[in-house]
Chains A and B, each alone.
Chain A
Amino acid sequence: METLKLLFKSPKFIAGLGIFVFLFLTAFIYPAVVDKNPFEMVGLMYEAPSSRYILGTDNFGRDVFVELIHGMKTSLIIGLFAGVIATAIGVTIGLFAGYKGGTVDNILNSITNIFLVIPPFVILILITVSLRSRSLAVMGLVLGITSWPWTARAVRAQSMSLRGREHVDIARLNGASVVEIIIREIMPYILSYIFMAFVLQVASGILNEAGISMLGLGPSNVVSLGTMLSWALLFESVRSGAWWAFVPPAITIALITFSLYFMNTGMDEIFNPRLRS
């Protein structure tokens, strides 16, 4: 509770959280209230923004504004899902490796290091290329399992530094099992850290979704911010000057990641007193 109060004193955290919550609510409330199909072709190709279509129409004559909101929802869902999976894998491996040490640590750390140097993007391409249909859940899962290594690495370092603390020794002498010690004695101390890593993972999930979609390997049968950009590029919206087809998704992606990074910096300044400049 104390830390939460502290957090809300950080202007950076508040600003980041504010933007994120605003985008999140828009993405989830608008489609629930206004029943418009993002796939419906309402106009001609690349109609400029007007009072009828605030952000104009795209290459298929679809309403860019409706697409944008639905795309934002898709990207947020994929990003959050990927963030949960990457954080869960990374934290589990990091905690065990750091606490156990010895052979377990050697093995887990080697696996982490190997996956750190193989570009995650390459693995992402190889997996998505071999999938016939890519649903939201599958995309989130794939993005999550390719981005856990750096969380594992960071959590391992934290967990290692806590291993020798007295309260951990006491728990061990009391006969607590490894899992119990990790969950009760180690995890609570790095919870803030885990949450920060999670926020960054969500941002990277959203960025990677857009990146992989630009390669033509995005989620199938849904609009996401990435697929919007990929269509805009494929149908030459940039060269034909139809800025409304690519500027809104590009700025939205930047805004979502910016809000998350800003939150992260705010938290970092609160949780690491040494960073308070």
Chain B
Amino acid sequence: MRNVVSAAVAIVVITAVFGFGYPLLMTGFAQLAFSSQANGSLITEDGKVVGSKLAAQGFTSAKYFHERPSATSPAYNAGATTFANLGPTNQQLAKNVQAAARAILKLEGPYNPGLTIHDIPVDAVTTSASGIDPEISLAYAQLQSARVAAVRRLPLATVKQLISKYTIGRSWGFFGEPGVNVLELNLALDKESSS
């Protein structure tokens, strides 16, 4: 009984300190010191929120770079992330990969003469862990550059320049892997086209 009373008091104290004190302190600090990151790294254009630097948004138009496939429902749902969870021997995985590859060949083929399935990087046909991976591999960005340049009537060199500008390298040049942030790249392209 003595234990029960002690435990009940401890639960109240601990919940107050670690359930409210600590997160509220961190929230206050974050809002002051890192307000952009703390609110979801949102990107604003003309006062309107157009997305987050950290979330794919499902580009389909030919003038944009496209992201990796997504297993969320609906696709690229930043409110309900999920893996695809298709095992390595699951036939559905084989079907999805083939379908994604066919779609890419059809879309990019006309702009890349001689394009075959062997030129498609693996990240272009596989779902990401979150379903909202904001990045694509450098290889997939290069593959899409010819189409985007042609549709937008921009010099290929300009598009490639923007790709390298929005390539996020390894942290401190060492940790993780490089990738291209698709939303930032597409925003820059829109600006380039309208100027």
- Are these two chains actual partners, yes or no? no
